[in-house]
């Protein structure tokens, strides 16, 4: 199940977050019903690249989640941090557009699933 979860997260990060942010433009903003702020592109484009990097990491870890359990921990941190960011945004703005609620729900589900399916590591053995 963890392999599939990592693949799903990889696809979401690359296709639905990374690429739209890297190629952010007024047309992309209109497509998603978002306000286009040209000055924000210096934040949006690097964000997109980070999402693509996360996607690549999740894809690599999907081949052997136990071996790459640190990437699973990174996924948990990524989605937990996003949840905190959404909560802060909601408090500051008073509401979120539907677009962001969809991302929030996806992130909460992924966070819960990554926590549930996180590989259990054996305790370290003392060497003689």
Per-residue pLDDT tens digits for 4-45: 999 999 999 999 999 988 888 888 888 877 788 888 888 888
In a domain, 124, yes or no: no
In a domain, 76, yes or no: yes
In a domain, 92, yes or no: yes
Q: Tell me: the pLDDT tens digits for 80-118?
A: 999 999 999 999 999 888 888 999 999 999 999 999 999
In a domain, 126, yes or no: no
The tally of domains found in the chain comes to 1
Q: Which residue has the tokens 């909460």?
A: 108
pTM surpassing 0.85? no
In a domain, 128, yes or no: no
Assigned token pair, 104: 């929030």
Q: What mean pLDDT do residues 32-60 have?
A: 89
In a domain, 123, yes or no: no
Q: What is the rounded distance in angstroms from the CA atom of residue 113 to the CA atom of residue 3?
A: 12
In a domain, 86, yes or no: yes
Q: What mean pLDDT do residues 67-82 have?
A: 94
Q: What is the rounded distance in angstroms from the CA atom of residue 6 to the CA atom of residue 18?
A: 16
Domain of 60, in residue numbers: 2-117
């Amino acid at each position: 199940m963890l392999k599939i979860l990592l693949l799903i997260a990889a696809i979401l990060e690359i296709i639905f977050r990374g690429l739209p942010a890297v190629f952010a433009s007024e047309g992309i903003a209109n497509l998603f019903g978002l306000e286009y702020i040209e000055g924000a592109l210096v934040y949006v484009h690097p964000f997109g690249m980070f999402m693509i990097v996360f996607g690549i990491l999740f894809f690599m870890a999907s081949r052997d989640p136990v071996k790459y359990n640190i990437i699973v921990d990174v996924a948990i941190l990524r989605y937990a941090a996003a949840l905190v960011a959404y909560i802060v945004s909601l408090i500051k703005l008073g509401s979120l557009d539907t677009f962001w609620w969809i991302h929030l729900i996806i992130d909460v589900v992924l966070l819960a699933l990554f926590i549930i399916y996180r590989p259990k590591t054996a305790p370290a053995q003392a060497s003689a």
